[in-house]
Amino acid sequence: MMQETLCKYVYSPEALAAAEAAIRAQFGPVGHVLREVISPELRADLCVVAPQPGRPWQTVVTLGMGAYPMQLPPELCAQESERVELALMLPPEWDLAGRDECLYWPLRWLKLLARLPAEEASWLGWGHTIPNGEPFAENTDFSAVLLLDAQEAPPAEPRRYPLPGGNTLRFYRLFPLYEEELQYKLQFGTQALLRLFGDAPPLPLDLARPSACPAARPQGGKQFRIEKHRLRPLLPDWDEPGGCLATDRILVDGAKVGYCYREAPCGEWDSGWRFTAGDESDEYMDAPAHSGVYSLNLLANYDAEILPLLRAPAPCAFTRGAQGLEPLKNLTGR
């Protein structure tokens, strides 16, 4: 696995070989590598370890983060490693080649955190949490990550692997958290949060896992018909603004799109598309709470019949007829 030398921080050939050997020893043989475009500070390739007996998941491991010697607090030098790599365990069916954010966010966060210490002259270690401030993607409510030891059943001492020059390499895994789990950890500490999971936090990443703090989940809000973890990336090649407006008749009640139209966009986010069930009253449409701004991908999950229409230029309109959504020739009104 050759690494380019144009980055500021890069493994020596000997250290790279040692890091590769450590990945094999910790996780298993590397099937292939997702190579990163060179960054000015540090390049983080992603090594993919296929499912194995006893580990029925894909393991994705950074390779390159450990080239940067993290700036550890002096009092932690004995218990933390200044050279680390990160891992994330994904379901065996997860499409690592997908570039829709519903699929790509775990890889994005591995890369982001791999570069973080070098870019900010900081460090990452066990128990650190990094918030995103909002859900990572529209198919999940996870909005933060917690760093834990990479091994599935941590021993008394975490595994450290020798690197040239007397350094050691340690692996951490990213464990995604819900907002209420993050707040619980910040209030009571990492060990208290881990006790809520019993023996150990579950593996691999599970978009449908229940919160360990269900009583603290935000109450209220809309109950959408399709659960977030069931959303599929249906517009992988969409290269236009992806926002749209839609009513609760579709997203909450589960009605099919009965009338939709495209008008001039009202902002950089806006595709110009508007979706309704077609049976909403004027009073219903006048209430802002009955509609919202969503992504076209979300609407396609509710009604895939819109997919062939989305490239139609504005102004245009479609209404549901005997053959499905059909063009509406008179655009002066519904």
Q: DSSP letters along 16-45, please?
A: HHHHHHHHHHHH--EEEEEPPPP-SSB--E
The per-residue pLDDT for range 14-41, each reduced to its tens digit, is 999 999 999 999 999 999 999 987 777 8
Question: 333: pLDDT confidence band, cut at 50, 70 and 90?
Answer: very low
CB atoms inside a 10 Å sphere around CB 56? 12
* pLDDT of 218 strictly over 90: no
Could you tell me whether strands 259-262 and 270-276 are parallel, antiparallel, or unpaired per DSSP bridges? antiparallel
Q: Which of 222, 221, 224, 239 is nearest to 301 (CA)?
A: 224
pLDDT, position 154: 58
* 8 A C-beta contact, residue 196 and residue 216: no
Please, which pLDDT band fits residue 215 given cuts at 50, 70 and 90?
Answer: low
pLDDT at position 40: 76
Place of tokens 């609407």: 299
- What tokens does 151 get? 């091994």
Phi, psi (rounded to 5 degrees) for 309: -95, -15
> Tens digit of pLDDT for each residue in 167-189?
999 999 999 999 999 999 998 89
The size of the chain, in residues, is: 334
Mean pLDDT, the chain, rounded, equals 90
Q: What pLDDT is attached to residue 331?
A: 60
Q: What's the pLDDT at 115?
A: 94
Burial of 78 (0-12, 13-18, 19+ CB in 10 A): exposed
Query: Reduced to 3 DSSP states, what percent helix, strand and coil does the chain have, rounded to the nearest 5?
Result: 25, 25, 50
Q: Exposed, middle or buried, 149 (CB in 10 Å: 0-12/13-18/19+)?
A: middle
Three-state SS at 322: coil
Whether residue 219 has pLDDT greater than 60: no
